[in-house]
């Protein structure tokens, strides 16, 4: 099965696809490859949003379009590296939390679970970016709203696939406790960040 086929299969059966990923060998090499590819594609998916915030203009006095496009490609490269670094920090933390609940996986399988889960987010992130770009270019409100919904669906898919992949990587028999714990952590982090921003 192709990587694209595995991505869509993971949406329905994250544990089974993660099991296949672990059995394929070269766990660290594939984890690094997945997180770098996901970083590049997720950064590209974010370009329409970035261009809205400080983007291309038709003003002749503004920076040349070539300079802005070069800056966006630099942003893609930095985004890929940043995602890889964040992944290298988050994966061990998720492994330590899983260990506290009886997980028996390895550091490598936890890294693979995270990087593979990010790969499964890519199609919805790209769809969200395309909908946003088309919605803004055509001044179509419902496409912009659909972009938001596709992004929200992507976050839910990430939570579901990462929970299933982590449960498989750590040897848990059920996925839902892992999903509840991860959702609680995400909600707590979101709440903390929101309070810090509002304060």
Query: What percentage of residues in the chain have a pLDDT greater than 90?
Result: 57
More confident residue, 104 or 191: 104
Q: Name the pLDDT band for 74 (thresholds 50, 70, 90).
A: confident
Q: What is the mean pLDDT of residues 14-34?
A: 94
Q: What is the mean pLDDT of residues 143-153?
A: 94
**Rounded to two decimals, what is the model's pTM?**
0.86
Residue-level pLDDT at 55: 55
Residue-level pLDDT at 61: 53
CB count within 10 Å of CB 19 equals 14
Q: What is the mean pLDDT of residues 165-187?
A: 91
């Amino acid at each position: 099965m192709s990587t694209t086929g595995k991505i869509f299969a993971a949406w329905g059966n994250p544990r089974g696809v993660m099991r296949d990923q672990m059995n394929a060998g070269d766990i660290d090499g594939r984890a690094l490859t997945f997180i770098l590819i996901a970083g590049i594609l997720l950064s590209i998916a974010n370009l329409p949003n970035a261009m809205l915030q400080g983007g291309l203009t038709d003003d002749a006095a503004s920076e040349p379009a070539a300079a802005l496009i070069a800056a966006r490609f630099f942003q893609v490269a930095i985004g890929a590296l940043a995602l890889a670094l964040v992944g290298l920090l988050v994966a061990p933390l998720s492994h330590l939390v899983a260990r506290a609940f009886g997980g028996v996986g390895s550091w490598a399988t936890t890294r693979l679970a995270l990087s593979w889960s990010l790969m499964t987010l890519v199609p919805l992130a790209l769809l969200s970016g395309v909908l946003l770009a088309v919605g803004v270019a055509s001044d179509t409100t419902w496409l912009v709203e659909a972009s938001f919904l596709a992004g929200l669906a992507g976050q839910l898919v990430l939570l579901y696939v990462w929970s299933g992949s982590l449960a498989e990587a750590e040897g848990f028999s059920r996925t839902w406790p892992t999903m509840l714990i991860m959702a609680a952590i995400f909600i707590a982090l979101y709440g903390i960040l929101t309070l810090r921003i509002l304060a």
